[in-house]
Amino acid sequence: MTRMNLVQAIQSGLRDSMRGDDDVLVMGEDVGRLGGVFRVTQGLREEFGDERVLDTPLSETGILGTAIGMALYGLRPVPEIQFADFIYPGFDQLVSEAAKYRYRTAGDFHVPMVVRTPYGGGIRGGQYHSQSPESLFIHQAGLKVVCPSNPYDAKGLLIEAIRDDDPVLFFEPKRVYRAVKMDVPDEPYSVPLSEAKVVRSGEQVTCVAWGAMLYEAFAAAEAVAQQGIDVEVIDLRTLWPVDIETIVASVQKTGRFVVAHEAPQTCGFGSELVTLVSERAFLHLEAPPRRVTGYDTPFPLTHERDYLPLAHRIAPALLETARY
């Protein structure tokens, strides 16, 4: 066991995967000599060489298109998109090509690739370095979407995603890259995709979050506990395929549901979760489901803390839902 932050855990997962399978390679802008803008891939080029840690041109379309070709020929590329905000030029490669190959070839071809990208606010990056586009990819059949909140899950989920035969979007909450530390096994291990985790048991309200917002949801739950409200907090971990069974079981117990995420509210993944819960646990609900989200505006620089659904915005929603 080694005490690691999120950056170190992801790096450890990449290193273990590359040591265990010569077909695994890393590619992206500045991932080699520089070690990535957040230094997640630092040291990998020195160990594995520049044929398995490739510095690419500044072309997201080229990075993702090349990775798809590699995957179709049996490699397991892990391309990095420097910020999730930069993924849009390569959007067509992901949704029209990577997501469709298994279906269009009746299972003859697979695209085993993992697209790593830091997402979300909290570092004063402004509108071009703070977006949360996860729902765009959840909407596309054929893609899996993962978002860890802590170092242990990050390493295990990444190893499992690299082993998966389908394309995976691996969103990394850069706000907590170095803010959270925990003991992480030095040896390879995996965390199953599509399994949520109850991180705080409660009886009165279910609150679902992922990534950096998990800590805000947990802090809000602790705050309202001082007023006698018992909140169950669930870390989604894998956004799609979603572990709706764990959420529904919690809602059947609590009768109330709140979801928190950084992305804008309209068509955010919280809307889908509210629908899934309403369809499966309608008769158990004792209050309308609530969404606590970013606003339907571009991500601001100056008013970043007002935009993000931090604990001070989640707590009132928990209180109002519990007292409805």
CB burial readout 49-77, b (16+ within 10 A) else e: eeebbbebeeebeebbbbbbebbbeebbb
The letter for the amino acid at 108 is D
Active site residue 129: yes
CA dist list (Å): 46 to 26, 31, 54, 258, 264: 13, 12, 12, 46, 40
Q: For residue 1, with 0-12 CB atoms within 10 Å meaning exposed, 13-18 middle and 19 or more buried, which class applies?
A: exposed
- 120-143 burial code (b ≥16 CB/10 A, e <16): bbbeebeeebbbbbbbbbbebebb
Name the active-site residue from 129, 139, 261, 303.
129
Rounded distance, CA 64 to CA 35, Å?
19
Q: Are 25 and 114 in contact (CB under 8 A)?
A: no
CA atoms within 13 A on the CB side of 181: 5
Among 268, 273, 226, 267, which residue's Cα sits nearest to residue 250? 273
Q: What is the 3-state secondary structure (H, E, C) of 107-140?
A: CCCCCCCEEEEEECCCCCCCCCCCCCCHHHHHCC
Does 241 sit behind a cis peptide bond, omega within 30 degrees of 0 on the bond before it? yes
Inter-axis angle of helices 6-20 and 151-163, to 10 degrees?
A: 30
Cβ-proximal residues to 241 (8 Å cutoff; 6+ apart), any chain: 144, 193, 194
Q: How buried is residue 99: exposed, middle or buried, by Cβ count under 10 Å (0-12/13-18/19+)?
A: buried
Which are the catalytic amino acids? 129
